[in-house]
Structure 1
Amino acid sequence: MRPGGRLCAGLGGVVLVAVAAVSGCQETGGPRPDVEDSGITIRYETPAGSDRDDAAFLRRRKVVEEAASAVAALVEVDQRISVGVVSCDGEGSSYDPELTHVEICYDEVSETRELFRRAEPERAEPQRADDNVVAVMRETLFHETAHALVDTLELRVHGREEDFADQFAALMLLRRSVTGEQQLLAAAEAWYLSDVTNEDVDDEPDEHSSDGRRAVNHRCYVYGAAPGRHRDLVSPDALPAERAKGCGTEWNAVRASWMTALAPHLRKG
C-alpha cells in the first residue's frame, strides 16, 4: 500500500508529464484508439514476467483509461499529461516534480488484492476482490494526478499538498455518486488495513498523513457528501461520532477549495 506523495511509494503506476491537448493512448506496440479522446496520453511499459497478469487486469478493466478520461473531462491543461504504467518491483507509485513524472505500478494490483484477502479470506470472492482493486488503483491515479495538476496549472494548495491530493481523489470519485462512494470507501478500507497490518515502524518525518488518518478522512468525505446513505459509518472504529458531526461542512470546504483552484481551468460545456 502506497504512502502516496510527491516522491513516494504507492499503489499504482502513472507517468504524468505536462502537455497541451491530449492524444490517445500508446503502448510499446502503438496507439490504443479506445482512449483517443481522453485528453491524456497513456503508455504501458512491458511488464516483468511476474506482473503480466496484473498488467492484463489493468488493461482489461481500463482502469487507467477511465480515470484519465474523468480528469480530462473536468480539466483543461495547457501542457500535455502523459501516463506510464510500469513494473516497480515493490517500489510503489511515485511522482517526481522535477520531471513532472508519475509512475503507476502493475505489481500493486496483486499487493492490493492480497491486502483485502488477508483481512477477509471468507469474503474474497473474485468480483469483490477485482472491484476493490479497481477502486484503490483509481484513487491512486487521482492522487498522483493531483500533484501534476498542482505543478502544471500552478494551483494554490490548501493545507499540506499530500492531503490536498487525497482530497482531489475524493472529489473525482464522489463525482460518480453511489459508485464513487463505494470506491472511496474501498480505498479507505485499504488505508485502514495498511495501517493495522503494517509492522514496519518508520520514525522519519513524513509529509503524508498516517494511513489510519487517511482512512478516516475518506470516510468523513463520503459521509459528508451523503450522510443519509452512510449512517452505518459512524462508529468508534470507522468514523468517530464527534468527527462525523462536522463532515458535511468539511466535505463542502474540500470540494469548494478544489473547484475554486480549478475554476480557470475547468472544461467548458
Structure 2
Amino acid sequence: MPLPLITLVLSMTSTLGAAPSPELSVSYEQPGSSRAEQARKLLKDSGALETGIRLPAPVKVVARDCDAAEPPGATWDHAERRITICYQLVDHARRVLDGISETEESDTGTSSARVEAALSVLFHHELGHALTTLNGLPDSDAQADQFAALTLPADAPERVVAAAEARHLLAGHTGIEGLPGPDESATFSCLLYGADPGKYRRIAKGGWVPPERAPSCTDEYNRVRSAIGSMAVKAGT
C-alpha cells in the first residue's frame, strides 16, 4: 500500500497554521470597500495563505483590491516572484459557494468549510505555479495542479476532502479566474484521493472523481510524487 503524502513530506505532524516557510511573506493591502474588507478578513482568518513548504527563492503573497480593468483572479508573476490574490475573487467564490449551500439547505459549517477550502485551493494552485517556474519546469495549469495536490495535503490535510468538493462546485463558474475547468478539477481530485484512498474516500464517494477513474488514482498520484515530490517538501525536512 502506498504511503500517504503526509508521511512522505511531514513525518505525520503538519497542520494548517504551522511555522510558515521562511521564504514566504504575506501582506494584505488596505481594501477599498466594505465588501472587499469582508473578503480581506475572510481570507486572513481562513489561514489559507499560510504554508510551510520550502521554496527555492523568496516569494511574496499579496492580497489586494484589483483594478476594474483586470479580471478579479489569482496570479503568479515569476519576474516579480509574487502571488496576487484579489479580494474580488475571494468575495465571488464565497458568494457562489454560499449560494450552492443555500440551495442544498446545507448548514453554516458546511458552507464555511467549503469556502475556506476553496481559498486554500486557489492559493495552492498559484503556489504550484511558483514551484513550477522556480524549479525551472515548463509552466502550465496542469503542472501547478500537480504541485497543489502535494502541497495542500501537506499544509492542511483536514481540508483535503472539502477542497476537492469546493473545486468541483466552482468548476465551470464564470468569474472564478485562477482555476481551470471541470476536467482539470477531476484530475486534481483524483490526485488528492490517490494520496490516501482510505483517508480521503469521501472524494470518490462524492463523485468528484469519475467512478471509472477512481481505481487508477493511486497510480496517478504515485507518478506525480515520483516526478516532483522532492520539490514540494516542508521546510526543515
TM over 0.5: yes
Per the normalisation by structure 2, the TM-score is 0.74
Identity across the alignment (%): 23
Structure 2 CA distance, aligned partners of 1:115 and 1:81?
Answer: 29
Q: Alpha carbon RMSD of aligned pairs, Å?
A: 3.2
Corresponding residue for 2:154? 175
Structure 2: gaps spanning 5 or more residues: 1-16
2:120 corresponds to which of 124, 131, 138: 138
**Letter paired with 1:44:** Y
Mapping for residues 1-269 of structure 1, pairs under 5 Å: 38-39=21-22, 40-49=24-33, 50-64=35-49, 67-68=50-51, 70-71=52-53, 75-77=54-56, 79-88=57-66, 89=68, 90-121=71-102, 122-154=104-136, 156-157=137-138, 161-175=140-154, 179-191=158-170, 194-195=171-172, 197-198=173-174, 210-229=180-199, 231=201, 233-234=203-204, 238-260=208-230, 262=231, 267-269=235-237
Structure 1 residue runs of 4+, over 6 Å off? none
**How many Å apart are 1:176 and its aligned residue?**
5.4
Structure 1: gaps spanning 5 or more residues: 1-33, 200-207
What secondary structure, in the 3-state scheme, does the structure 2 residue paired with 1:46 have? coil
**Letter paired with 1:245:** P
CA 222–102 in structure 1, closer or farther in 2 if over 3 Å, else same = closer
Q: How many residues align?
A: 213
**Letter paired with 1:112:** A
Please tell me whether the aligned partners of residues 21 and 235 of structure 2 are also in contact (alpha carbons under 8 angstroms). Answer: no
Structure 2 CA distance, aligned partners of 1:234 and 1:135?
Answer: 17
CA 36–175 in structure 1, closer or farther in 2 if over 3 Å, else same = closer
What secondary structure, in the 3-state scheme, does the structure 1 residue paired with 2:61 have? strand
* Structure whose CA Rg is larger: 1
**Letter paired with 2:212:** E
Per the normalisation by structure 1, the TM-score is 0.67
